Amino acid sequence: MLPAILDAATLRAAYASGDLDPVALAEIVAERMAASADPAIFITPVSKADLVAAARHLMERHPQPNSLPLWGLPFAVKDNIDVAGLPTTAACPAFAYTPDRDAEVVARLKAAGALVTGKSNLDQFATGLNGTRSPYGAPRSVFNADYVSGGSSSGSAVAVAAGLACFSLGTDTAGSGRVPAAFNNLVGIKPTPGALSTTGLVPACRSLDCITVFSATVGDGIAVRRVAEGFDPADPFSRRAVRQTLPAAGLRFGVLEPAEREFYGDTETEALYAAAIARLERLGGVAVPFDYAPFREIAALLYDGPWVAERFAAIEEFHADHAAAMDPNVRAIVESAKGYSAVDAFKGRYAFEACRRRTDTILAGLDVLLLPTSPTIYSVAEMQAEPIARNSQFGRYTNFANLLGMAAIAVPAGFRRDGLPAGVTLVGPAFSDEALAPWADALHRALGGGMGLDRRAALPEASRVATAEDDRIPLVVVGAHLTGLALNHQLQDLGAIFLRATRTAPDYRLFALPGTVPPKPGLLREPGHAGPGLEVEIWALDPASFGRFAAAIPAPLGIGKVTLADGQSASGFLCEAHAVAGAPEITHHGGWRAYLAANRA
């Protein structure tokens, strides 16, 4: 019997044992969706027949269980992110269109074996942090239907928390991927702006938008982010990652000074924040009070300054003809942009840079910040009574992050006495996404509270995030050792763990080596060559296993340093140059798996 929450580790174990397969899971998920007590979660659910067909097609193409990084994992997609063949509404029926191609991030997840369950509800045009601004209804917190789900990624959070998806995609401009996580006892992964492509996303504030991940555990969310991320030349705001590290011990984490601890009377959420501080100290962190004022001033600029004009820019043409079709609160926010001039935009930029100088000074003495995700939660009735003011309160500790280009991971922090959850967020420097994960995972496990609706669930050991002290050695594989291919079992037999799929730098060439059994490619680096970059996977082995694996590699292959698309390098398969003489070059295919598929076709 499946647990209430569909975490990845449990599903993979069931797949590996043969107790479950993607078709059976698709049937169960479809039945759960049909029986859900909250009809506002999805705007366009995938039908049972289509979901089962997608699962069956996956098994036909990749019959080996867990043979792709996200094999058979069901996920929901916020309805401002394109999925081919499903309407994109942005929660505004008059805006709807049906794309013929997936958003770049969705395409990557599908290629990794994940199955789309539907398009989830949101605050219209991703404008709001509460989840009530949709003509398709207001999803509710899974713990009390009288209370808001949080937004704007409302349906995405509730789908995971209610066991209707293993993970989901949201977006986060001002907190939309973190606040709903707090209100539904989930993890919210907010990557560094630009780390995930926004091609195929209906923009809210295009220069600040992030596609985010909701998951039951930090490990699940990080695994999804690793598949989804990567530089996209079609996205002008895409950025090449330059990984930042954090200390494995003695983490200096900034905490709010008492004068800045505003919880709007919610003393229980305030106490849960204090408990999270104490817990992170016991995990080896060092709490450092800091002045939040300049961060709060930056946060205010997002809605109470000229940046709101970027929201108007995103839908200006639609607004000109369809303003009456918009949610009144969303329309009021967007139309407030008309009160700002180009002069105001420059003044806002000056104010931001002055605040950033102050925040830079503060952050120089800290590794990360630990903040409340939201200072409180409100009922739907309370939110509708004061929709602007109370929505603004939700963003008090989230709005600044994207303006400063920071990464963040929100985790559950426990429950109030009335059974409603609260959350805290670790916020780190740009591209500290990977380094934040072990601390966030350790904090989630230490604070307890389970996963989603199941507050008593134990977090699976298989989803635990390795710490920075982990001595496993990354290995770049390019050919027969890729997931699902003939020699991948050699890695799994040695206890290797999959880290992520990525690409090489563009100056690599790939050849099909003649006479190899099973067929293998040869990877060569040619400085100055302008290629597409080649699809690779990164696995990790402990030192002893790495040594045994490397010693068994037959000539003309060997291990050398492979430079990746993000500029980092890792040990990986390379080929002696003489072996490719006369061998067909297959670089144009973009990778070994694509070459094999082309040959089959």
In order of 115, 422, 441, 458, 509, the CA distances from 450 in angstroms are 25, 13, 12, 6, 47
DSSP characters over 544-596: HHHHHHHHTPPTTEEEEEEEBTTS-EEEEEEE-GGGGTTPPB-GGGSSHHHHH
- The pair of structure tokens assigned to 364 is 């120089």
242-289 tens-digit pLDDT: 889 899 889 999 999 999 999 999 999 999 999 999 999 999 999 999
Domains located in the chain, CATH noted: 8-242+408-414+430-460 (3.90.1300.10), 473-600 (3.10.490.10)
DSSP characters over 434-502: HHHHHHHHHHHHHH---BTTBTTPPPPGGGPPPPTT---EEEEE-STTSTTSTTHHHHHHTT-EEEEEE
Residue 21's Cβ-count burial label (10 Å; 0-12, 13-18, 19+) is middle
Contact (Cβ atoms closer than 8 angstroms) between residue 497 and residue 552: no
Cβ-based neighbour number of residue 484 at 10 Å = 17
Indicate the SS3 state at residue 50. Answer: helix
- pLDDT for the residue numbered 472: 79
Cβ-based neighbour number of residue 252 at 10 Å = 15
Going by C-alpha positions, the residue among 474, 446, 478 that lies closest to residue 591 is 478
Residues in the chain: 601
Residue type for position 511: F
Going by C-alpha positions, the residue among 415, 470, 472 that lies closest to residue 437 is 470
CA 62 to chain centre: 25
- pLDDT for the residue numbered 557: 93
> Torsion-angle region of residue 167: left (phi > 0), alpha (psi -120 to 50) or beta?
beta
In order of 59, 249, 250, the CA distances from 402 in angstroms are 39, 27, 26
Span 164-179, average pLDDT: 98
Greater pLDDT, 315 or 529: 315
> Torsion-angle region of residue 414: left (phi > 0), alpha (psi -120 to 50) or beta?
left
Contact (Cβ atoms closer than 8 angstroms) between residue 91 and residue 124: yes
- pLDDT for the residue numbered 67: 84
- pLDDT for the residue numbered 468: 53
Cβ-based neighbour number of residue 249 at 10 Å = 11
**Mean pLDDT taken over the chain:** 94
66 secondary structure, DSSP code: T
Share of the chain above pLDDT 70, in %: 99
The answer to pTM > 0.95 is: no
Span 426-452, average pLDDT: 96
- Residue 364 has phi, psi (to 5 degrees) of -60, -25
Contact (Cβ atoms closer than 8 angstroms) between residue 129 and residue 395: yes
Q: What gap in Å lies between CA 458 and CA 217, rounded to an integer?
A: 10
194's enclosing H/E stretch is: none
Span 504-520, average pLDDT: 93
Indicate the SS3 state at residue 253. Answer: strand
DSSP characters over 208-246: T-EEEEEESSHHHHHHHHHHH----TT-TT---------
399's enclosing H/E stretch is: none
363-373 tens-digit pLDDT: 999 999 999 99
Is 469 a residue whose pLDDT tops 80?
no
- The alpha-carbon radius of gyration of the chain (Å, integer) is 24
Strand partners, 201: 81
Q: Which residues are catalytic?
A: 78, 152, 176
547-562 tens-digit pLDDT: 999 999 999 999 999 9
Contact (Cβ atoms closer than 8 angstroms) between residue 229 and residue 212: no
Is 100 a residue whose pLDDT tops 70?
yes
Q: What gap in Å lies between CA 577 and CA 195, rounded to an integer?
A: 34
134-144 tens-digit pLDDT: 999 999 999 99
